[in-house]
Amino acid sequence: MRTDTGQLFRLEDYRPTDYLIPQTSLTFDLHPERTIVRAVLSVERREGVSASQPLVLDGDDLKLVGLTVNGALLGDNGYRATPERLEIAELPAEDRFTVEIVTEINPTTNRQLMGLYRSSGVYCTQCEAEGFRRITYFLDRPDVLSVYTVRIEASKAEAPVLLSNGNPMEAGDLAGGRHFAVWHDPHPKPSYLFALVAGDLGSIRDSFTTRSGTKVDLAIYVEDGKEPRALYAMDALKRSMQWDEEVFGREYDLDVFNVVAVSDFNMGAMENKGLNVFNDKYVLADAETATDTDYAGIEAVIAHEYFHNWTGNRITCRDWFQLCLKEGLTVFRDHEFSADQRSRAVKRIAEVKTLKAHQFPEDAGPLAHPVRPRQYREINNFYTATVYEKGSEVVRMIRTILGPDLFRKGMDLYFERHDGEAATIEDFVKAFEDASGRDLSQFALWYEQAGTPNLSVSYDYDPAEKTFTIELEQSLKATPGQSRKKPMHIPIEFGLIGSDGKDITPASATGAEVTGDVIHLRQRKEKVRFTGIGERPVPSLLRGFSAPVTLASELPHEDLIFLALNDSDPVGRWQALTKLLTGALIAGVKQVRGGKPPVIDADIVNLVGEIAANETLDAAFRALCLTPPGESDIAREIGDNIDPDAVLASREALIKAIAEAHRQAFAALYDKLANTGTFSPDAESAGRRALRNCLLDYLSVAEADPSHATAQFRAADNMTDRAAALGVLVHRFGDSDSAREALGAFEERFGGDPLVMDKWFMVQATRPGAAALDRVRALMSHRLFSLDNPNRTRALIGLFATANQTGFNRADGAAYDFFADMILKIDRENPQLAARLLTALRSWRSLEPVRREHARAALARIAATEKLSTDVKDIVERTLG
Ligand code: TRP
Ligand code: ZN
């Protein structure tokens, strides 16, 4: 494990390398504990660089066993090798030469899951961001592009399947029960996109013919026997390939495209050129084992990794500060894909919920950083919601500002100009400026300034003048390392709604710039005055959630109810309803903390009933409206001095009031929505299940009885309905025999499948209340649990820390202590996983004083531990600030 070197990397220090490596040829002699890697690098000295400049290559935990330059051994002073670095000083005078490096690595003991490791006996690699240097010494940075040829040799019995990037060239048998395969990738790529997989894997195959007529062979490799569970991923892959041609004009560029599912993986998946490697959670699905959420996740991640082929691989990043260049853009592309495949409005609301749940707290806490960070100690810690999700919002805003046609023109120009290059955010923004003739320099501040801007809005209607004036003010709080902030260019989609529910078209607009239905706020404070407005309109601002900001508007209760029922924009409707529910829930928290039972607002209870009953609305949309803001959403809106027990009490009181008021109607609707026919994962069926499962929870609360849930659990013919019923049983009736029996039945049925059992761990980890800690501790001894596997660890420890507000934030701090122990333990094996889990404590300062002090003490204990990884040290130090 790499321990902290204290080095800080800064954007302003970027400098191109002295040497290039236009070609790389690798030979792997695979053995479980002693793999030999021979790397032949064709090296080129850049013009103007002196031959006395040494070639300095990156390494991590490497053992050098051989080195030649132009075929000759070097003198003792000719080079210096440490596990972290190979410096070659004795170099030829010519500007081109060959360096051959032999290293020895151990894939079996590699538990960091970076570099070459083994997962359930399968050899696989993960090189982003800096894993390639754990395989061989290299210029391991994204602006060094090389053409790779890879030869893999392995035992035929152990690894019948041998894969790498690009196209297959040659394969055959060797002596001693071994065989080999050669792969060649004609597209120059950075080392982080290198991949190798070797093992005994099953596969499904298909093909896709590009619009210019090239047939591409597609394969998805999975654990033997699980092939049928890869069919949905294959379908999603073909739809992604088709969509990228239709919507972005982008075609695939190799003869083969391979996807491999592995069970030990730190993140969701990886876009290695022509050989995407996936966490099996994002490949494997069938009705029996996967929920509708799992299906949607697979579709999104398959698309995301495929789309990286153009946004990430063909055009890559100059340096890791530009990470959002590929990630934000590719998230935007996968969002658009899912919106086109499913319901656009429902998809957008889901995105807004995710952004607010993950990115807003990041931006409001000690880990806040700009979409393009200016400095880092550990790049692994910058694969964040800000870089990915806010990065995607920034791209979406560019489209909102330019409109779809100029946006597409800008994208085309970006692809045309930078194909085959390692680009920057400046290059990206410039393409849109040049395509549209618009000045985006103020807009580019979205990449530079951390924090969520607040928009405060007031309205004035003048009946005599028939004018409606909106006054807007933006503000942005200080974030770590940034105190003074400049006003940003914020695109605000809007509508002015008349009493008939229809949008009013203003005669003219003066003040802030208005183009179509977008107000462009650029000053700190600006007014916009609309004329020709015959009645006082209800304004709907931030339609489609057109900018990642918080909105403080002085709209009265009745207007919010009106918007929740009438806004032509479903996202606007949902936003208005959420605002009402959040207000009611926060009022309830105050009442609980004042020792009183929460008073429930009858208007809100009725409103929810009205939306549930409105069959003209999408079932999935109604399900979103029927789910009140979660405990962490409420906590985020309160902002400080949080008491999670009071938050839970307030939320439960509202749910109970809604459940009791609409008991009959909900029961009838629940029955009406019952399954018919065979299972289909399509969006409409999934929406119906989502709504029905929402109603199941309300019904169970109203009846104070588990029988509806038990009946559904037993009758379920798919995992969505089964897992939802289990959730109700465990969370609402956890001590009952019904819950115990259901957990037992689930374990009996799925105990052979760790991936499915993650749902069983999760449902128990998230059962509210202080007793959760003991349950989590006990579950750690379950035969399927292992801290070595990231999916298991996230299901139990991760969900406990992020999705069990009352259980994790126990008033006595015992769960923080347990959590700190786990972080320290995991850090010794897998620093990346430990650091990511630890971000669960990022909002510790918003807790009430007693819990806050316990959390601080647990963080301080981690910080004071010796031999922390760079990853954990960086997170804990920034969190304590
Ligand atoms: N680039 C990958 C994606 O977003 C994610 C990724 C980055 C990753 N670093 C990783 C995956 C490390 C696994 C391990 O598509
Ligand atoms: Zn990505």
**What are the tens digits of pLDDT across the range 261-306?**
999 999 999 999 999 999 999 999 999 999 999 999 999 999 999 9
Q: If you measure from the C-alpha of residue 845 to the centroid of ligand 1, how many angstroms do you get, rounded to a whole number?
A: 30
Ligand at shortest distance from the CA of 124? 1
Q: Which atom of ligand 1 is nearest to the CA of 327?
A: 4
- Nearest ligand 1 atom to alpha carbon 380: 9
Question: Any catalytic annotation for residue 305?
Answer: yes
Nearest residue CA, atom 15 of ligand 1? Answer: 270
Q: Any long-range contacts for 290-293 (C-beta under 8 Å, 24+ apart)?
A: 290/229, 290/681, 290/719, 291/719, 291/720, 291/723, 291/759, 292/681, 292/685, 292/686, 292/689, 292/690, 292/720, 293/720
Name every protein residue with a CB atom under 6 angstroms from any ligand 1 atom.
126, 128-129, 266-267, 269-271, 304-305, 327, 383
Query: Which residues 6+ apart lie within 8 Å of 731 measured at CB?
Result: 763, 766, 767, 768
Atom of ligand 1 nearest to the CA of 388: 4
pLDDT value, residue 624: 98
Judged against a pLDDT cut of 60, whether residue 862 lies above it is answered with: yes
Interval between CA 151 and ligand 2 midpoint (Å):
27
What count of other Cβ atoms lies within 10 Å of the Cβ of residue 270? 24
Pocket test for ligand 1, best of 110, 112, 266 (most atoms within 8 A of CB): 266
CA 324 / ligand 2 centre spacing (Å): 9
CB 498 within 8 A of CB 504: yes
The closest-lying atom of ligand 1 relative to the alpha carbon of residue 268 is 11
pLDDT band at 6 (very low <50, low <70, confident <90, very high): confident
Nearest CA to ligand 1 atom 5: 270
Contact 742, 730 (CB under 8 A): yes
Q: What percent of the chain has pLDDT over 90?
A: 99
Q: pLDDT tens, 110-144?
A: 999 999 999 999 999 999 999 999 999 999 999 99
Per DSSP, 49 falls in state -
Distance from residue 128's CA to the centre of ligand 1 (Å):
6
Select from 724, 733, 736 the least CA-distant residue to 704: 733
- What's the chain's average pLDDT? 98
- For ligand 1, atom 1, which residue shows the shortest CA distance? 270
As a whole number, mean pLDDT of residues 212-218 equals: 98
Helical spans, DSSP H, in 484-601: 557-566, 570-593
Residue ID of nearest Cα to ligand 1 atom 3: 270
Residue 239, pLDDT above cutoff 90: yes
Protein residue whose Cα sits closest to atom 2 of ligand 1: 270
How does pLDDT run across 300-340, given as a tens digit for each residue? Answer: 999 999 999 999 999 999 999 999 999 999 999 999 999 99
How many Å apart are CA 766 and CA 760, to the nearest integer?
Answer: 10
User: Minimum-distance ligand to the CA of 326?
Assistant: 2
Q: Which residues pair with 149 in a beta bridge?
A: 25, 184
Q: Which of 132, 267, 794 to mutate to test the pocket of ligand 1 (most atoms within 8 A of CB)?
A: 267
Neighbours of 672 (CB within 10 A): 11
pLDDT tier at 430 (50, 70, 90 boundaries)? Answer: very high
269, 246, 244, 242: which is closest to 258 by C-alpha? 269
Burial of 848 (0-12, 13-18, 19+ CB in 10 A): middle
Of 576, 581, 541, 571, which is closest to residue 560 (Cα–Cα)? 576
* Residue 3 confidence class, pLDDT cut points 50, 70, 90: low
In this structure, the residue with its CA closest to atom 7 of ligand 1 is 128
Choosing from 134, 270, 330 the residue with most ligand 1 atoms within 8 A of its CB, the one to mutate for a pocket test is: 270
**450-469 average pLDDT score:** 98
Ligand nearest the Cα atom of residue 193:
1
- 332 Cα to the center of ligand 1, angstroms: 16
- The ligand 1 atom at the shortest distance from the C-alpha of residue 305 is 15
Check residue 397 and give its pLDDT. 99
User: Which pLDDT score is estimated for 676?
Assistant: 84
Summarised one tens digit per residue, pLDDT across range 363-393 is 999 999 999 999 999 999 999 999 999 999 9
3-state secondary structure 58-95: ECCCCEEEEEEECCECCCCCCEEEECCEEEECCCCCCC
Distance 473 CA to ligand 2 centre (A): 34
State the pLDDT confidence band at 554, using cuts at 50, 70 and 90.
confident
For each of the domains in the chain, give its residue range(s) and CATH number, in order of start: 9-307 (2.60.40.1730), 316-448 (1.10.390.10), 454-547 (2.60.40.1840), 751-881 (1.25.50.10)
Give per-residue pLDDT as tens, 718-762: 999 999 999 999 999 999 999 999 999 999 999 999 999 999 999
E strands of 706-749, at which residues? none
Q: Which atom of ligand 1 is nearest to the CA of 271?
A: 15
C-alpha 799 to ligand 1 mean position (Å): 20
| Minimum CA distance residue for ligand 1 atom 10 | 128
Which of 128, 132, 240 for a ligand 1 pocket mutation test, highest count of atoms within 8 Å of Cβ?
128
Tell me how far the alpha carbon of residue 688 lies from the centroid of ligand 1, in angstroms. 33
Spot the catalytic one: 271, 305, 362, 526. 305
User: Given CA atoms 835, 841, 845, 846 in this order, what sign does their dihedral have?
Assistant: positive
Say if residues 470 and 527 touch (Cβ distance below 8 Å). yes
Compute the distance from residue 306 Cα to the ligand 1 centre, in Å: 13
Cα gap 312→387, rounded to integer Å = 14
Centre of ligand 1 from the C-alpha of residue 278, in Å: 10
Ligand 1 pocket check: which of 277, 383, 384 to mutate, most ligand atoms within 8 Å of Cβ?
383
* Structure confidence at residue 2 (pLDDT): 58
For residue 787, the model assigns a pLDDT of 98
Kindly give the number of the ligand 1 atom that is closest to the alpha carbon of 383: 7
For the CA of 192, the nearest ligand: 1
The minimum-distance atom of ligand 1 relative to the CA of 301 is 15
The closest-lying atom of ligand 1 relative to the alpha carbon of residue 265 is 13
CA contacts within 13 A on the Cβ side of 27: 9
Compute φ and ψ for 723, nearest 5 degrees.
Answer: -70, -35
Provide the percentage of residues in the chain whose pLDDT is more than 70: 99
Ligand 2 center from residue 868 Cα (angstroms):
28
- What's the gap in Å between 250 CA and the centre of ligand 2? 17
